Homo-oligomer: A and B are copies of this chain.
Amino acid sequence: MSNDEPGPGHNSVAGDQLKAFCERIERLEEEKRAIADDIKDVYKEAVGNGFDGKVLKKVIALRAMDKDDRDHLLSTTDLYMHALGLI
C-alpha cells in the first residue's frame, strides 16, 4: 500500500468518495423510478375510465408545445395527409 496510515484499507479515501457518489445517485434513481411508476398508474387509471392511453400521451405532448409550433404541426400534417389521400 502506498501509505502507512492505519485505516480501513487501500485507497480508502477515493473508495469512500466513490461509494458516496454511487449511493447519492442510487437514491435519486429510486425516487425517479417511483415517480415513473406513479405516472404509469395515472395512465392506467385514465384507461380504466375509458380514455385511450396512446392518444392521451399524444395530446399531453401537444399541450407542452407552444401554440405556434402546435398549429404549424397540425396544419402541415393535415396538408400531407390530404396530399397522400389518407384523409
Contact = CB atoms under 8 A, between A and B. Distances in A.
Contacts of A77: 55, 58-59
Contacts of A15: 83-84
A29 B39 contact: yes
Interface size class of A (residues with CB under 8 A): 35 or more
Contact of A83 (B11, B64, B81): B11
Interface of A: 11, 14-15, 17-19, 21-22, 24-26, 28-29, 31-32, 35-36, 38-39, 42-43, 45-46, 49, 51-52, 54-56, 58-60, 62-64, 70, 73-74, 76-77, 80-81, 83-84, 86-87
B18 A84 contact: yes
